[in-house]
Structure 1
Amino acid sequence: MRHPLRAALALALAAALAAPLSSAPGLVAPALAASDQKPGMRPVTVHAEPIQRFQRNGDATRFGEFEFRGGLILSSNERRFGSFSGIDIGPDGSRFIAVADIGRWLTGRLVRASGHLVGVEETRSGVMLDDKGRPLLRRSRADAEAVRLAPDGSGAYVTFEQSNTLKFYRFKTDPSLARATPVALPKSARGMVGNQGLETVAIAPASGPLAGSPVIVSEQSLDAAGNHRAWVVRGPRAGAFSVVRSDDYDVTDGAFMPDGDLLLLERRVTALPVGVNMRLRRIPAGAIRPGAVVDGPVMMEASMADQIDNMEGLAVSTDDDGRMRVTLVSDDNQNPFQRTLLLEFVWLGPSTALN
């Protein structure tokens, strides 16, 4: 999302403590060239600078319930590169798809060595289309915030925050050729605040209590009790529920874990002291039902003492040892003081948490 002025300044100043000015794209996203408005993915060169340690001034590898497995600072000479707000990983564990909140797709392959993220390859970029096949050029229509691949491989679900809509893109290989199909939401999913609404889409396991339904969570559109509004889109438990909001954290993405629980990525921005925090929180899937108010334990928390930025996208996959792997991406807001980061962790399980 595009933050209010105070939050944006806080993010810019906080990231400036960590990022060299030369490694980030321009502050204001330039207009699309005519060639960029044409549907179809095209190759884009992406430079990946490895992040060896998650702690800025330490050698720790375990953080809460997770072990750090490498990171990258991504940059490109592509004028519209950046602003990535959602990511998902394909069934092979390496192919990825990302959306930018300026209405663009990015696809590619993650490269790992000895289980650690070391690079990206085969990167391609393309404009997103609306339901009539027109490029999403206006900011109010292009604000894609989360992406989740359909389990059957038929395409991807994308949330748009300013319009507070969920759309499905049907494709096999090229998302930039796919037209948006609106997904009907429960009637209760109305009245969300523009630019503070749908930030998350997760697809529940088909065999679980939510029967494969998309689950959407708002970033900062809150209910009367001050909790995040959320919905199960369809199925036997379709309807509204709430996610407890705590410690001034906002939800920026979510995905279901292999055991069926919902993993949420959350972010907190502070002006004094200037900085940004992120955390991962686990919500028991069995608790999600219409009218419920759900909460769960914090599995990991990080601050500006760690290699983070404006963390907005989350993907869950499985590593070669069968453990849950989490991939995070940051939204640089097209701001030279911020960075596009890819970070990976593996879940060690609650019994090995270091709190």
Structure 2
Amino acid sequence: MRLRTVLATAVACLAAATGPTAAGPANARENHACSASVSIERFSDALDKTTYRGTFVGNFSALAVDRDGSLAALSDRSSLFGLDARTLAPTSVLPLADENGAALDSEGLVIDLPHSRLRSSGGTPIGTRLITSETEPSVRRYAPDGTILDRLPVPDALRVAPAGRAVSNGTFEGLTLLPGGRTLLASMEYALSGDSAGIVRFQTWRRTGDGPFRLAAQYAYRTDTGLGVPEVRATPDGRLLVLERGFTPGVGNAVRLYLADPRHATDTSRTQNLTGQDGVRLIRKTLLTDMVTCPSLGATAKQPQPNPLLDNIEGMVITGHSRGRLDVLLVSDDNQNPAQTTRLYSLRVRTGPSRP
């Protein structure tokens, strides 16, 4: 985990370098508890409203750690940025497109670093980018140079109406690869038409050996009232960190972090409608923190927020782990809006032991 530890340290170094306004007070390395399970080390606004090689740096929807320990940051305006592992300054930008050259509403990101027992098949480069788009929705595999390698199958019901039952701008937001590298999981942001409000579907794909990803089990997860799921990340023990998020005009954002356990949840791939009263076992979840309770660390907000630290948090990646503690990096999506901020948050999360 040395490279990931370097990345986690880099977040702190960048925050310290940007000074108190962007990074919070000088003592931000102290334990700033949001809850018994989560503390915020620091934040940085250093990338807010900046550009790189003529491309706006922002609209971030997902984060991932690359094989060299550097960070990848996905913009939902169809761009993938590389960020320096020491400073987090942009080092590259890669435009993305679909098979017809059209832009994506790119939301979820996984860099496929196969487990040692898995091998790259057919000359496919290790480190391919799996990227979701909310438009259809879709999951495509890209080579590191942006070439489309293939596209994963998607159940008809998860497609945007009228092709399926999903609402526009409410499909695949989160994407994660489970430990071992064989199972990919995508989280829908909102419920399908015909499912009870707040019950969203998590779709998985499974690969055997060096083969392609094939459709596998699907699970149901209940969000808090009025919230959706912008991101999901697998923990080293196979559980999930789930972000839930909402926005109320004049009030601001609600952002909560949950630990979820998909074991023993019912496979809902053949369940037409999820009512919450149908005997389906939902994914179990435990609240780790409501981020409104985090200390603000001197943050300021450009619009009303219940805590000035908060913004439209949408991306999340685990950058390191040790003995039940995770180093987690979050990023907000500023929507290229003057009233919002591109902000990076460094958290320490204690998950506790995994129980069967």
TM-score, normalisation: structure 1? 0.71
Partner of 1:232: 204
Q: Offset at 1:339?
A: 0.6
- Residue type of the partner of 1:169? Y
Deviations 1:49-74 (A, max 9, x none): 642269x9xx9701121222222111
Instruction: Give 1:1-12 correspondences, 5 Å limit.
Output: none
AA paired with 1:88?
A: A
- CA–CA distance in structure 2, aligned partners of residues 186 and 234 of structure 1: 14
Aligned counterpart in structure 1 of residue 283 of structure 2, from 270, 273, 294? 294
Check 1:48–1:332 CA distance in 2 against 1; reply closer, same or farther (3 A cut): farther
**Deviation of 1:90 (Å):** 2.8
SS at match of 2:285: coil
Q: Distance in 1 between matches of 2:201 and 2:25?
A: 36
Asked if 1 retains the 8 angstrom alpha-carbon contact of 2:315 and 2:332, the reply is: yes
2:82 to 103, 107, 124: 107
Q: Which of 220, 235, 251 is 1:257 aligned to?
A: 235
User: Partner residue of 1:213?
Assistant: 183
Q: Distance in 1 between matches of 2:204 and 2:352?
A: 27
Amino acid at match of 1:334: Q
Equivalent AA in structure 2 for residue 205 of structure 1: P
| Pair 301,71 (structure 1): closer, same or farther in 2 beyond 3 Å | same
Higher RCO structure, 1 or 2 (CA under 8 Å, sep 6+): 1
Partner of 1:248: 226
State the alpha-carbon separation in 2 of the partners of residues 100 and 288 from structure 1. Answer: 32
Aligned length, in residue pairs: 280
Q: 1:149: which partner in 2?
A: 111
Bigger shift: residues 298-307 or 260-269: 298-307
For residues 109-154 of structure 1, the C-alpha deviation after alignment (integer angstroms, 9 at most, x for no partner) is 243xxxxxxx42352212113236x3x44xxxx2001111113243
Matches within 5 A, 1:330-345: 330-345=332-347
Check conservation: 2:324, 2:351, Cα contact below 8 A.
Answer: no
What amino acid maps onto 1:164 in structure 2?
P
Equivalent residues of 2:324, 2:350 under 8 A apart: no
Q: Deviations over 1:132-191 (max 9, x none)?
A: 6x3x44xxxx200111111324312111012211111122xx4xx322621112454342
Cα offset, 1:197, TM superposition: 1.1
- Name the residue aligned to 1:81: 57
Cα distance change of structure 1 residues 230 and 128 upon mapping to structure 2, 3 Å threshold: same
Q: Secondary structure at the match of 2:263?
A: helix
When structure 1 is superposed on structure 2, of 154-163 and 223-232 the one drifting more is: 223-232
Match of 1:95 in 2: 70
- CA 1:347–1:91 in 2, change beyond 3 Å: closer, same or farther? farther
Note the aligned Cα RMSD (angstroms).
Answer: 2.9
Using structure 2 for the length normalisation, give the TM-score: 0.70
Matched, 1:66 2:43: no
Matched position secondary structure for 1:231: strand
Call closer, same or farther: CA 1:179–1:345 in 2, change over 3 Å: same
Provide the rounded CA distance (Å) in 2 between the counterparts of 1:180 and 1:308.
37
> Residue 325 of structure 1: SS of its match in structure 2?
strand
- The runs of 5 or more residues in structure 2 that have no matched partner are 1-16, 115-125, 209-214, 269-280, 293-305
Question: How far apart are 1:287 and its partner, in Å?
Answer: 3.1
> CA, structure 1 residues 296+306, in 2 after alignment: closer, same or farther (shift >3 Å)?
farther
The superposition leaves residues 78-101 of structure 1 with CA deviations (integer Å, 9 ceiling, x where unpaired) of 452211111112355x41111111
Alignment pair present for 1:160 and 2:162:
no
User: Which structure 1 residue ranges, 5 or more long, are not aligned?
Assistant: 1-46, 112-118
Q: 1:130 to 1:180 in 2, by over 3 A?
A: farther
Q: Which residue of 1 is the match for residue 331 of structure 2?
A: 329
Aligned-partner Cα distance in 1 for 2:315–2:217: 24
- 1:199–1:252 contact (8 Å) kept in structure 2: yes
Query: Among 112, 125, 131, which residue is 2:93 paired with?
Result: 125
